[in-house]
Homo-oligomer: A and B are copies of this chain.
Amino acid sequence: MAKSKTISLQKFLGVELPIIQAPMAGVQDSALVVAVSNAGGLGSLPCAMLSLDAMRTELTIIRTQTDKPFNVNFFCHTPPEPNAEREAAWRAALLPYYQEYGIDPNDIPTGPGRKPFDSETAEALEAFKPAVVSFHFGLPPADLLARVKAWGSKILASATTVDEARWLEARGVDGIIAQGLEAGGHRGMFLSEDLTTQAGTFALVPQIVREVKLPVIAAGGIADAKGVAAALALGATAVQIGTAYLLCPEATTSAIHRAALRSEAARHTALTNLFSGRPARGIINRIMRELGPISTVTPAFPLATAAINPLRAQAENRGSADFSPLWCGQNANGCKEAPAAVLTRELAVDLK
C-alpha cells in the first residue's frame, strides 16, 4: 500500500518522497527548503512573516540552489479592524510583565505582524512560479487564487475539519493538508473558531480521505518513519512534518527554542492564542501557565503579537523562554540534530 501512495505523490507533485516539510514562519528560511527539496522531499518556504523583498531574496536563493519542486506558503486571514478596547485589555493583562522588565507600555508599537496573501504578493510570486503554493486559514480571494493556478502552481490548503476540506475542494485546490490536533504552530481552522471541532490526526485523516476526491496530506504528530507509514496506511498520499525539522542545522530555530525542544518540557504542549491571537500549539512556558494558554482578551489575529514582542525580546536577551512562542507539535520525539536531507530520507525509509 505504501508503495502505490509514493507513486501517486510522484505523479501529483513530481516529488520523489511523500514528505512535505511543513512551512514554519519564524524558524526557517530558504536553507531548509533547499535541503529538503534536494533530498527528494518537498521543501516549503513560509512567507507569512516576510516582506516582499525578503521573499524575493529567499526565492532567488532557492532557485539558485535547487531545480527540484518546492512549496511557498502564505496565510489567508482577513486583517482585523483594530479594537482599542481589546488592545487595552491585552496590555493591562501584560502590565505586570512590562513592569517586571521595565518596559514602558507607551513605547510598544501596534499593528499586524503577519500579512495575508494579496495581489502585490501574487505579482512578486509570479516571477518564480513555484511548483506548489500552499495556504493556511482558508484561501485568498477567487481572482488571486485563479491567478496562481493560471501560471501552473499546484495549490495545497489546510483543513482541520471535514467541512473545511469540502469547502477547499469546492474552490479548486489540488490537495488537502489534513491538519490533526497534534500539529505544532497555528491551527489552520477557518470555518469555525470552536476548538471542539478540532480532531486528532487518527480521526481526521480517514474522514477527509473518505469525503474528498483529492489527495490528502496528513499532518500532526507524525515524527518518524513509522509515523509516515501509519499515515499512508490511513489513506494519506503524503505527510507534512514540521516539528521533526526544528533541530536541523538548516532551521533558524533560536537557541532558546532548541533548548526547550531538547528538554522534557517538550512533552507538554498546549494550544495558545497569547502569541498571535489565534490558537497555535507550543511548549508550555511561563506566560502560558500564568495567563492560561487561551485568553479571552487577546486582540484578533495577528494583532496580539505586537504587545508581547518587547517582552519576548527582553526575556530572550536574558536567556529566558518565558515569553517566546515555542511552537512544537505533540510529538517532539522525532526531532533530530541531523542535516535535513538525512532526516528527510530517514522519514521515508520504511517505504522502500
Contacts and interface: CB of A to CB of B under 8 A. Distances in A.
Interface of A: 1, 161-162, 180-182, 196-197, 199-204, 206-207, 210, 220-224, 226-227, 229-231, 233-235, 267-271, 284, 293, 329-331, 333, 350
Q: Taking each of A196, A204, A284, which has the highest tally of chain B beta carbons within 10 Å of its own beta carbon?
A: A196
Contact of A230 (B162, B196, B202, B223): B202
Q: Taking each of A161, A223, A267, which has the highest tally of chain B beta carbons within 10 Å of its own beta carbon?
A: A267
A15 B284 CA distance: 41
A182 B203 contact: yes
Nearest to A272: B196
A180 B231 CA distance: 16
A279 to B, nearest CB: 12
Nearest to A210: B333
Q: Taking each of A161, A182, A221, A271, which has the highest tally of chain B beta carbons within 10 Å of its own beta carbon?
A: A221
A235 B350 CA distance: 13
A224 B196 contact: no
A284 B196 contact: yes
Given A331-B207, A333-B207, A333-B210, A200 B221 contact: yes
A87 to B, nearest CB: 27
A200 B224 contact: no
Contact of A233 (B161, B200, B233, B270): B233
A182 B235 CA distance: 18
Contacts of A270: 196
Given A226-B233, A229-B233, A230-B231, A269 B196 contact: yes
Contacts of A226: 206, 233-235
A199 B329 CA distance: 10
A318 B206 CA distance: 35
A187 B269 CA distance: 18
Nearest to A284: B196
Q: Taking each of A196, A200, A329, A331, which has the highest tally of chain B beta carbons within 10 Å of its own beta carbon?
A: A200
Given A224-B206, A226-B233, A227-B234, A196 B268 contact: yes
Nearest to A292: B196
A164 to B, nearest CB: 12
The 7 closest A-B pairs by CB, nearest first: A200-B200, A202-B221, A203-B330, A203-B221, A203-B331, A196-B270, A230-B233
A271 B229 CA distance: 29
A77 B204 CA distance: 31
A147 to B, nearest CB: 34
Given A182-B202, A197-B268, 6 more contacts: A180-B202, A182-B199, A196-B270, A200-B221, A201-B201, A206-B331
